[in-house]
Structure 1
Amino acid sequence: MLGRIPGSRGRLFADTTPLRTPDFRRLWLAGIVTVVGANLTIFAVPVQLYALTQNSAYVGLSGVFALVPLIVFGLWGGAWADAMDRRVLLIIASVGLAAASVLLWVQALLNVNNVWVVLCLLSVQQAFYAINSPTRAAAIPRMLPGDQLAAANSLNMTVMQFGAIVGPLLAGVMLRWVDLSTLYLIDAIFCFAPIWATFRLAPMPPSGGVQNSSGWGFRAVLDGFRHLSGNQVVLMSFVVDLVAMVFGMPRALFPQMAHESFGGPVEGGLTMALLAAAMSVGAVAGGVFSGWLPRIRRQGVAVVASIVVWGVAMVGFGLAGGFARGSAGVFLWIALGCLAIGGAADMVSAAFRSTILQQATSDDLRGRLQGVFTVVVAGGPRLADAAHGATAAVVGTTAAAAGGGALVVVGMAGVALLAPAFLRYRTPDDTKP
């Protein structure tokens, strides 16, 4: 049995207690429009790249231009979040994101038609995102008591997944009447919401003597990794996510399976759109019905259990594609159901892993470890794309998807045997920030 916090009331729907705190509420409300705008750009960039080049290789190259700044500035941004006022750094990052979106709008409006300009602006935008993400996550424990962190992370994950559904659908509809430059412009306008929210935050100066000891550079990043290597619980929270994503994320197989397994058109169409949205639909549903999350004390067990559910769901997805044999029918709905279940399980895992990181790390190191968290979350699915694509070319999509899910389950069994401290982890009795 998973432990429960004594005296907690039974809940079905999401716990909105963190929204009673003004600073968190402002950030969360600003995030609703921000993630929709960001997903408009996420949709627009590959569309523009393909329109300019008629070559999918350039679309794939955008992943490299996005991943490199995510890694570099995710790590350094986390160090900066520990060395300076987090409110100030959030303002800088928010302004940078807005500026990058404005420049993307300008190049599309003026018909610059240069693929390298688009790729470089994408890199700039991702660099500021990589600074913003760990800083924001490290700031939340300064706003809320510890017993509200799981609920707060669930609320944040729900908003992110909501944007992943609404943004692409809205972009697809809008492009019937407007051009790509309008999508970039809307994102730029929406970026001003977090700027307003961060200006309203209370100051968050660095705790301890970080600015005098670790500094701002490579040494500060190394200090974060040294702490990570000595904290098995936090380290394993990263490892289990890498196992889940690298082995279990089958999104690179969606185009081929949509066409070959479920009979969709080769250029994508509705079947592809349904596969792409199914995980986010499940994650949003999981967030809406997440009222039970704050009651769980054995969070290590909860993470492993949710990732096992994720792995089993991916096995089901792969097998459904294998049995479909080129016809949508009932097997498409089984596949979509498996993806939705996996999305809900991933939301639970992400909420608990974020909470573990925030609670098991001292405030003077939270920024750096949140930076590592950003790199892991961003890099794992991209490694999965390469692994699943190469595997499917050899053994087929069914074996690649189902086999990857099975490896996730095996990996979690290995975690249970090799890292018992992670399974034993419980929320601290002291719930103060």
Structure 2
Amino acid sequence: MSFRDLFADTRPLQVPAYRRLWTANIATTIGAQLTVVAVPAQIYTLTGSSAYVGLTGLFGLVPLIIFGLYGGSIADSLDKRLVLVGSTLGMILTAVMFWALTWSGNTNVWWLLWTFSLQQAFFAVNQPTRTAVNRAILPLDQLPAGASLNMMLMQAGAIVGPLVAGALIPFIGFSWLYFLDALLLLPTLGAVLALPALAPKEVGQKAGVHSVVDGLRYLWGQPILLVAMLLDLIAMVFGMPRALYPEIAADRFGETEPGIMLALLYSSMAVGAVLGGVLSGWVSRVVRQGLAVMVCIVVWGAAVVVAGLGVMLSPGTVTIFAWLVVLMLVVGGAADMFSASLRTAILQQSAAEHVQGRIQGVYIVVVVGGPRLADVLHGWAAGPFGVGMATLIGGVLVVVGTAVCALVVPSFSRYTRPGPDTVDSTAPTN
């Protein structure tokens, strides 16, 4: 493998439809992060209550679950291009609603929460459809590279967006931050409008509960798909200690007020994911993709174990152990990026095209729900075990859970990427 092969595989960017979507999403991802920061910050400004801020989790999770599943059904029964157009317009509308509420001087926090819930419903329809579209516009052998490029962009936005929001709020306030989000969605709307027609593969398929159930029944009969999602849950539920970051920064690193160490803890995984994306050239060349996923998750679990040790050994001030924790979370973020890219590719390759939307809908529920379950689990475990031991035990459970999956479903570790003869040469390129 040459030095050039270490870097991200950019072949998907040679496909015009993918390139337009990816390039437009640079602006849209940053815009979305503006709202991610603005909503809880504005709610806290209005109420002075973290309990009200916490309601954003409930108001966001419920529509994501409901419309993640139902949105996948919609994506499989209608032209995916039309679904993307409608859901993108919906996200623009909700951003404008946030702007209008704030600009008009609204102080009712419930209006903000319901608008946020509506926005998440549109997002829950948009995201699985967007992921399913990759199967239609990219050759199968480029799906891992496409997933890596998408993840790298999302994680970069998670770093840049909050920094931009924090810098702009004192100067332009919340209302114009929402307006910027609406404007930054326009490039994606243009890219979606330029897509070719993406009609459903199964004629007569109708969206609804029956369609969702059919998708779940299909998923239940596909052990490769089930294990791919289960591994994501194992990695996130046991190995995501973000709920402990404030206590780690305060008690183990000695920050009397939230400061640089807390910021580094929160951003470390995203930094690792971006670095991993830059160095993801090998991902598209992996043949034994199932085994590679398991190895990456074990690396992630091991990094969390070492981070837990670093927390336990930290004397209550910023020492080499604090930097070890941050470094391990960066390593874990890169491993998680590799794993997620490969898992996404496996889901896109292995699931039949007529159920892609529903499979991606279930997957977004897993991706969103896992970290929220982790917050509850780690928050509870920190009481009896302490933050360091809770982190360490979580990492151990990631490694053990992955090993159990390998033993119970050995077919997953033997899973290989489709050969050149299975590449879908009919995928549109414009």
TM range (shorter): over 0.9
Q: 1:114 — aligned with what?
A: 108
Q: Are 1:258 and 2:249 matched, yes or no?
A: yes
Q: 2:310 — aligned with what?
A: 320
Q: Are 1:387 and 2:374 matched, yes or no?
A: no
Q: 2:195 — aligned with what?
A: 201
Deviates more, 1:188-197 or 1:176-185: 176-185
CA contact (8 A) 1:248 1:408 kept: yes
Measure, in 2, the Cα distance between the counterparts of 1:89 and 1:180. Answer: 29
CA contact (8 A) 2:141 2:418 kept: no
Which residue of the other structure, out of 116, 121, 128, is the alignment partner of 1:127?
A: 121
Matched position secondary structure for 1:176: helix
The aligned runs of 1:280-295 (5 Å cut-off) are 280-295=270-285
- Structure 1 residue 176 displacement after superposition: 3.3
Matched position secondary structure for 1:73: helix
CA contact (8 A) 2:67 2:124 kept: yes
> What one-letter code is carried by the residue in structure 2 that aligns with 1:374?
I
Which residue of the other structure, out of 352, 357, 365, is the alignment partner of 2:347?
A: 357
Matched position secondary structure for 2:280: coil
Q: TM-score, normalised by structure 1?
A: 0.96
Measure, in 2, the Cα distance between the counterparts of 1:193 and 1:265. Answer: 43
Q: 1:240 — aligned with what?
A: 231
Measure, in 2, the Cα distance between the counterparts of 1:81 and 1:265. Answer: 49
- Structure 1 residue 9 displacement after superposition: 9.8
Q: Deviations over 1:352-378 (max 9, x none)?
A: 010000000111010000000110001
Measure, in 2, the Cα distance between the counterparts of 1:383 and 1:229. Answer: 22
- Structure 1 residue 28 displacement after superposition: 0.2
Measure, in 2, the Cα distance between the counterparts of 1:264 and 1:176. Answer: 24
> What one-letter code is carried by the residue in structure 1 that aligns with 2:423?
T
> What one-letter code is carried by the residue in structure 2 that aligns with 1:95?
L
- Structure 1 residue 208 displacement after superposition: 2.5
Measure, in 2, the Cα distance between the counterparts of 1:9 and 1:157. Answer: 22
- Structure 1 residue 183 displacement after superposition: 1.5
Q: 2:212 — aligned with what?
A: 221
Q: 1:400 — aligned with what?
A: 390
Matched position secondary structure for 1:170: helix
The aligned runs of 1:12-27 (5 Å cut-off) are 12-27=6-21
Measure, in 2, the Cα distance between the counterparts of 1:40 and 1:198. Answer: 22
- Structure 1 residue 265 displacement after superposition: 2.9
Measure, in 2, the Cα distance between the counterparts of 1:104 and 1:248. Answer: 34
* Residue ranges of structure 1 left out of the alignment (5+ in a row): none
Measure, in 2, the Cα distance between the counterparts of 1:104 and 1:332. Answer: 39
Q: TM-score, normalised by structure 2?
A: 0.96
Measure, in 2, the Cα distance between the counterparts of 1:261 and 1:279. Answer: 19
Q: Are 1:230 and 2:221 matched, yes or no?
A: yes
The aligned runs of 1:32-71 (5 Å cut-off) are 32-71=26-65
- Structure 1 residue 58 displacement after superposition: 1.0
Q: Are 1:431 and 2:407 matched, yes or no?
A: no
> What one-letter code is carried by the residue in structure 1 that aligns with 2:356?
R
Measure, in 2, the Cα distance between the counterparts of 1:164 and 1:252. Answer: 17
CA contact (8 A) 1:10 1:292 kept: no
CA contact (8 A) 1:260 1:325 kept: no
Q: Deviations over 1:105-158 (max 9, x none)?
A: 111112201111111011011001000000011111111100111100000000
* Residue ranges of structure 2 left out of the alignment (5+ in a row): none
Which residue of the other structure, out of 329, 341, 362, is the alignment partner of 1:339?
A: 329
RMSD, aligned CA: 1.3
Percentage of pairs with the same residue:
48
Q: 1:410 — aligned with what?
A: 400
What is the number of residues matched between the two proteins?
423
